[in-house]
Amino acid sequence: LLTPVFLVYLMLSFIIQSIRRYTPLGKPLKGSEKRLRFQIESQPLFERLRNWEWGSVLLKVMWIGVFWIIVVIGIGRLVNVFLSWLSGELEGLSLTLTTAVFFGAGMIMFLLPPVPGLPIYFTGGIVLAKTAEDSAGLSFLNAALYSVLICSLLKGAAIVIQQKVIGQIIGARSVYVRSLVNINSLELRAMKKIMAVPGFTIPKVAVLVGGPDWPTSVLTGIMRLPLLQMLLGSVPVVVTIIPVCFAGAVLLKGDEEPYVVLNPILLTLSFIIQLTPFFVAIHYIARAAIVYREELENEPLDEEVEKYNANKVLSQKWSIYLNKWENLSTCTRYMHGIMVTFTVISNLTLWLGGSECFVAFEVTDTIEETLDGSIVNLVKYPFGGIMLLMAAIPWVYLFIFGIIQGQRIKKKISSGAVLPEGADTENSFELFNVSMFSMKNLQNLFREESALDRLEGEDDDSDDEESERA
């Protein structure tokens, strides 16, 4: 996503350096600066990029592209189509039957990991509020509040299934799953400590309300936290449900005053309310990881996960070693480059040029009118189809490359091959280091605060001692 920004930066750096080299404008260049094609201020960035493990970086770029297409492009648009179809099918039914069908469909949607709760609540505001007004004769306010009630109950029921069935029964019993979520990490242990506190606390509510719906509830099950306490801590989620349901209910009022101005206000408010506890949760998890660091490190680890991870170490080292740029064949390097180019072009085009690739479709539209009765018409051909094909090719490449590399690693281990002496098997590229909100950055910040607090405390103690002596 930052590729256009980086390209603009390179272009500006080149233009500025060219002006300095060939015109009397700008600062005079000295010595080796005259031979540079980009300004000297850019050189530390280039040096840092040269030290990246490009084999690993390019693979991560492709995987990010896969995630982006599935979640943002695929699910983001297909969810609207499904919910629109559901809304049409429920039209004209009784309130009781509409509520039952919506509840069942909403539960299925909640059980899909990538699907967030917001589009489900929004559809609830559209379907349930309209049915409550038309068939039950409720006022607009009471109909919207009815949709809030049902969506809140749906969220609670989803938490129960996600935590007790998916998390505790399936996830907690699988060593692979516990290793995958990194259950022994300091951050997850800090998160567990926050949520184990009974009743309402700001950190606990922030994690349960601000965290992603499916992962948060499943993690609480893997951690075997008490269900009733998790449900109690999740009650404030109704604050995020209210504006979304009301926005859906208001949408059906069309251009009526004052409803026409309320919809964008309510959607913006819901977005802000949803993001605020998310960042508060990150803040408190990072802080707990520092404040309770010694206590958390002394807690017993999941021994099964530790043994499982120990058995994976050799495989991981071979994977890192074989994926290093210098260890890849020339053909593989070119293929990596081509696939990343496909990924970047297709993802940016589908995102920024979505109107040229897809038909605009909202939950309030109908498949019959907007898509001529077929979901296939959601894509604009040929341009949209070409971009989707370009996005799909790296998926196939990743699948084939993963199989080949996996076989190479198994062959190395089974034959007893030893890694070359001094081989670097540490991956120097950390994906989330670029984020200012990364957990490590926050932890470093809190370490500095703790150090300052200790210094201030020592200064206060020395002042007291001097006062006593005086």
78-115 pLDDT tens trace: 777 887 887 778 777 888 999 999 999 999 988 888 77
**pLDDT for position 398:** 92
User: Which CB contacts under 8 angstroms, 24+ apart, belong to 163-166?
Assistant: 163/217, 163/218, 163/220, 163/221, 163/225, 163/227, 163/230, 164/221, 164/227, 165/221, 166/111, 166/217, 166/218, 166/221
Which two structure tokens, joined as six digits, stand for 374? 């077929």
Phi-psi region of 439 (alpha: psi -120 to 50; beta: other; left: phi over 0): alpha
271: confidence class by pLDDT, cuts 50, 70, 90: confident
Average pLDDT on 299-314 reads 83
Q: Is the pLDDT of residue 357 over 90?
A: no
The residue whose two tokens read 């030290």 is: 51
Query: What pLDDT is stored for residue 422 in this prediction?
Result: 64
- The tens digit of pLDDT for each residue in 317-340 reads 888 888 888 888 999 999 999 999
- d(C-alpha 317, C-alpha 311), whole Å: 11
CA angle, residues 32, 38, 42, in degrees to nearest 5? 95
DSSP string, 85-100: HHHHHHTTS-HHHHHH
In 282-328, at which residue ranges do the beta strands (DSSP E only) sit?
Answer: none
Q: What is the CA radius of gyration of the chain?
A: 27
pLDDT of residue 437 exceeding 50, the answer is no
Contact 132, 140 (CB under 8 A): no
* Higher-scoring residue by pLDDT: 29, 127: 127
pLDDT at residue 468 above 90?
A: no
Give the per-residue pLDDT at 147: 94
Residue 35 confidence (pLDDT) above 50: yes
Distance of CA 137 to the CA centre of its chain: 41
26-40, 362-376, 384-398 — which is least confidently predicted?
Answer: 26-40
Tokens, residue 406: 């996996």
Task: Indicate the pTM of the whole model.
Answer: 0.67
Nearest to 188 by CA among 43, 103, 289: 289
pLDDT at residue number 140 = 87
Q: Look at residue 48 and tell me whether its pLDDT is greater than 90.
A: no
- pLDDT for 470 equals 41
Cα–Cα nearest to 218, from 362, 110, 135:
110
**Confidence label for 436 from pLDDT (cuts 50, 70 and 90):** very low
Peptide bond into 226 cis (omega under 30): no
Helix (H, G, I), strand (E, B) or coil at 373: coil
User: Above pLDDT 70, what percent of the chain?
Assistant: 86
φ, ψ at 255 (rounded to 5°): -90, 10
Higher pLDDT, 35 or 148: 148
Q: CB atoms < 10 A from the CB of 305, how many? A: 19
Average pLDDT estimate for 55-78: 82
* Max avg pLDDT among 40-44, 290-294, 464-468: 290-294
Give the model confidence (pLDDT) of 388-398 as tens digits: 999 999 999 99
Distance, CA of 111 to CA of 155 (rounded, Å): 11
Positive or negative CA dihedral for 107, 109, 111, 114?
negative
Angstrom distance (rounded) from CA 268 to CA 262: 10
pLDDT at 255 (0 to 100): 63
**For the chain, what is the mean pLDDT?**
81
- DSSP secondary structure letters along 405-432: HHHHHHHHHHTT--PPTT---S----GG
Identify the residue whose tokens are 């670029």. Answer: 434
More confident position, 241 or 51: 241
